[in-house]
Amino acid sequence: MALAAASAKAKSDRMRITLLAETLVCMCIAQVSSLVATAPTTSSVPSAIETIESANARLGRGINLGNALEAPSEGAWGVTLKADYFQQIRAAGFDTVRLPVRWSAHADLAAPYAIEPTFAARVDWAIDQATAHGLNIVVNVHHNAAFDDNPESELVRMTALWDQLAERYQHRPTTVYFELYNEPHGKLSGETWNAAVPVLLQAVRRTNPTRPLIIGPDGWNDIGRLAALRLPADDRNLIVTVHYYSPFQFTHQGASWVKGADQWLGRSWSGDEKALAEVRKELEKAALWGRENQRPIFLGEFGAFSKADAESRERWTRFVATEARRLGLSWAYWEFCSGFGAYDAKAEAWREPLKEALMAAP
């Protein structure tokens, strides 16, 4: 009887030990699984260069909302932004809108150079629309003749503008990109532009230390001026932009703001091997500079004015967009619905050949 009781007790003890062991094993597995699930991997923590390359790739195909907020006042050049424009752009397959903004026309001329609240709210609205429609948006400083003509004296005001903009948008998602200044030229060239860049960059970085920031060379963001551009080596969250409008007498024929442009009317772009080679050469030069300097390239503007024949415009646009994609450049066509427009605002419809030319790039 005592022997049977002892045997039953031993069996019970073994069962309890087994159950305890199984419980401990389950707890360990659960803890390890939790650690694995939450532990960072190498791919989830990319380097700064990988991050900015990814940010540039995300820009993808873009289009400029030109002649609206960079006009002296919105509507003065025939374009007033509408919520539907953002929907149309996204539905067509674009990834990004570039928003040119003439901040200098909407800020005080005396310190602290305050930006008009109503105008800033209009830009806020545009950013909201882009974000709501799943678009990246590039917000730039566009058209400041005083800065181009008197860069040393105007730098204080430009810095104050960027102080305000950077603080205002510091909590926006990383799909909101800043572009330091559009097409520096005139006296804002060479070492003068190179000296201004770190000053303006510092104003942005005080509140936006890692936001993707776009900067281009002087000479109207010309590819040929890339070699003269000097950027802070320790800021790897920079994308370099260039603009491309060659051959200029084709892309700007009949443009009222270009002296002598009427004399170029009737010029076509054949797309023969010589013409193709010229485009390749320039865009490959930009891509090579980007690789050598570990700076991704954004082709921020390219387009042909509406006075050129439609077939030539389509042919040129298709090739430039395709070459840019082949070379790993993001791009934004100039522009949405004005003189270069891919969209007809009056008809409320895309100019299909141009849209298809832009979307054709793989």
Catalytic residues: 183, 301
Q: Give yes or no for a contact between 138 and 62, defined as CB atoms under 8 angstroms apart.
A: yes
* Three-class DSSP category at 293: helix
**For residue 323, what are the CA distances in angstroms to 26, 301, 349, 358?**
57, 14, 26, 11
Q: Tell me the helices (H) and strands (E) count for the chain, helix number first.
A: 12, 10
| CA within 13 Å, CB half, 106 | 23
For residues 75 and 73, what is the distance between their CA atoms, to the nearest angstrom? 6
Q: Give yes or no for a contact between 245 and 301, defined as CB atoms under 8 angstroms apart.
A: yes
Question: Which residues have a Cβ under 8 Å from the Cβ of 254 and sit 6 or more positions away?
Answer: 261, 262, 264, 265, 305, 307, 308
Degrees, nearest 5: CA angle 125-171-99: 40
